[in-house]
Amino acid sequence: MSPGVQLSDRLVSCAADAAARASRYLLGLRNPEGYWWGELTADTTLESDFILLQLWLHPPVDGTWNPPTRRLVDRAVRSILSRQLPDGGFNIYPAGPAEISATVKAYFSLKLAGVPADGPALSAARERILSLGGLQAANSYVKINLSLFGLYPRENCPSIPPEMILLPGKFLYRMSSWTRAIVVPLSIVHAHNPTRPVPAGFTIEELFLPGASMGFCGGGSCVSWRSLFLAADRALKWWERYGSKRLRRRAIRACERWMLERTRHSDGLAAIYPPMMYAIMAMGLLGYGPDHPDRAEAQRQFGRLMVNDGERFFFQPCFSPVWDTAIAAFALGEAGAVPASKLASTGDWLLSKEVRRKGDWSVKRPDIEPSGWYFEFANEFYPDIDDSAMVLLALRHVRGADPRNCRASAERAVRWLLAMQGSDGGWAAFDVDNNWTPLSEVPFADHNAMLDPACPDITGRVIEALCAWGVDPASPAIRRGVDYLIRTQEQDGSWYGRWGVNYIYGTCFALRGLRSAGESDREAHILRAGEWLRSVQNADGGWGESCASYDNGCFTAAGSTASQTAWAILGLLASGDSNSLSVNNGIEYLLESQRSGGYWDEELATGTGFPKVFYLTYHLYRQSFPLLALAEFVRGWRAPSEEGV
């Protein structure tokens, strides 16, 4: 036996042992009802906005907060201050630089809560804000929020008119699902033109950079979509003063109905933090008192996002149980270390979450039977394509107590996914062909998520799921998906990752989709992708990528993480590379970094909310994806010998 074979045998044996430990640890995290639910964390902007919401709901009386609010605000202050950078700023991802909007939000909320403006924390934050362009450089949502309290000129904020819900051509549905869920309640707030009080003498004028423009960026003298939208904004400001009050009332009521309808069968509006916050504000302005059932439920659901366990205080942007459960169940199923009977309750729980009502997606696909899965515990209007594909993959291993029910559910989901393919051959997150690029030029589009176009990471996962459930790789839908992936490959051989950081994530799932579709690992696009993955490996054998990749428009290296190392290994395995030095070193990295309890630690954010704006740390990624990578590596080595027996 050659030394190389001995080395491989040792590595496979060690990987199998590590996968078994990881399986036991991951199984131990499961809720008794059958699901997994890891924490989902982000940056300080959530705690900052919480303090702003308290000012809206419970303004201090004679400068004094009521005691319950004061206690929560104090906890939020400590949470924010604990993450201040040495230069005084606040970042939007771990190890990232200070970011202007996050720092302005933190400054406002800390000063409002009573942190001294001349103390070290706010003095340093103020200097950092001014060095980054001042308050004028913050994004439009920061300015809109501040304008509600008279702290930023309303005329220098984008107009968000409720009348947009009445525009022909289903204009509202040209926006991404999360954008429309934000702007509908925010348009109600905007239309009421409130100016809520702040404590006497409170100001943030010190954050304005002298000489910097207060207006919107862009436009110029050339005719462009940007200049047209800026002209439209000026027209809207005239309309707000002199336009039809009757039409405005009609639009507000339409927005109110739209908002309330989407809180049904959902854990809050769209089940994500920003729409939930604005819905609370909107309901108050519409006359819904604190005891009104709809408002009380909205505030209850928002409160559930808070983690306040005595030691920690932070807000989660949303819950991720369906996503966490599907990935964990798939990884355990692929590892084969847990009897199927132990996972039956997981299958039943997932099947209970299948969507059976029409949601926003049906505007463009009205004749399709509802199916699919959402991300959270309940969000019936917004099943998403990525979750649906991941659940389908999990259901290959966890079919629940009634296999016929599982088969029927999977068949509905397959039909739904096929119907949600875009005209470009790819799949997006929530909608079909949500890619009218001019919308990215509207003044309030600087959250960088106005649209929901197809992306390689979701497309690859959908192809993998469809093929796993019997869709012919030669079918037109799969071939169009393959063509989309080949067409969107970057020049260096990687693929962009929209929902995970970034090119490592996109390349992993594009390659898995191409493998499932039967693409030969000798094809040039597969070879180039494998070579790219090997070229960006870190010296310690792992892989890591910074969120700065989105800002730089190219791969930007970072310290190795368990989840990104797993994605790179999975991508290489999908490319046909099972025994290169890169793969072996990557497996060694996972083995060496695994803790004795079977888990991995990870400090960096590897999930993406809005590129360049908002990032996520999925606390189960570091457990599920390394297990999946180890399991596939072991199976790839053992399968040939088992077949020989």
Q: Which residue numbers are catalytic?
A: 386
**Count of helix runs (H) and strand runs (E) in the chain:** 23, 7
Here the tokens at position 126 are 């103020």
- State the amino acid at position 521 in one-letter form: D
What letters, b where the CB count within 10 A reaches 16 and e where it falls short, cover 489-522? bbeebbbbbbbbbbbbbbbbbbbbbbbbbebeee
118: number of Cβ within 10 Å: 7
Here the tokens at position 182 are 């934000």
Yes or no: say if 134 and 105 are a contact pair by the CB < 8 Å rule: no
67: number of Cβ within 10 Å: 8
Strands 306-308 and 313-315: antiparallel
Q: Give CA 515 to chain center in angstroms.
A: 26
Yes or no: say if 280 and 57 are a contact pair by the CB < 8 Å rule: yes
Task: Give the helix/strand (H/E) hosting 596.
Answer: none
Q: Does residue 275 come out as left (phi exceeding 0), alpha (psi in the -120 to 50 range) or beta?
A: alpha
What are φ and ψ of residue 504, in 5° steps?
A: -65, -45
C-alpha to C-alpha distance for 390 and 464, rounded to whole angstroms: 9
Unique residue bearing structure tokens 């003498």: 201
| DSSP SS3 for 280 | helix
For residue 316, what are the CA distances in angstroms to 281, 313, 486? 19, 10, 36
C-alpha to C-alpha distance for 244 and 264, rounded to whole angstroms: 31
What letters, b where the CB count within 10 A reaches 16 and e where it falls short, cover 287-303? ebeeeeebbeebbebbe
C-alpha to C-alpha distance for 7 and 1, rounded to whole angstroms: 10
Q: Where are the alpha helices (DSSP H) in 559-620?
A: 562-574, 581-593
C-alpha to C-alpha distance for 44 and 156, rounded to whole angstroms: 25
C-alpha to C-alpha distance for 510 and 631, rounded to whole angstroms: 19
- Nearest CA to 186 among 307, 49, 339, 320? 49
Here the tokens at position 538 are 């870190």
Nearby residues of 475 by Cβ (< 8 Å), 6 or more positions away: none
Here the tokens at position 111 are 């000063």
544: number of Cβ within 10 Å: 24
Residues β-bridged to residue 608: 615
CA 484, 487, 492, 495: dihedral to nearest 10 degrees? Answer: -20
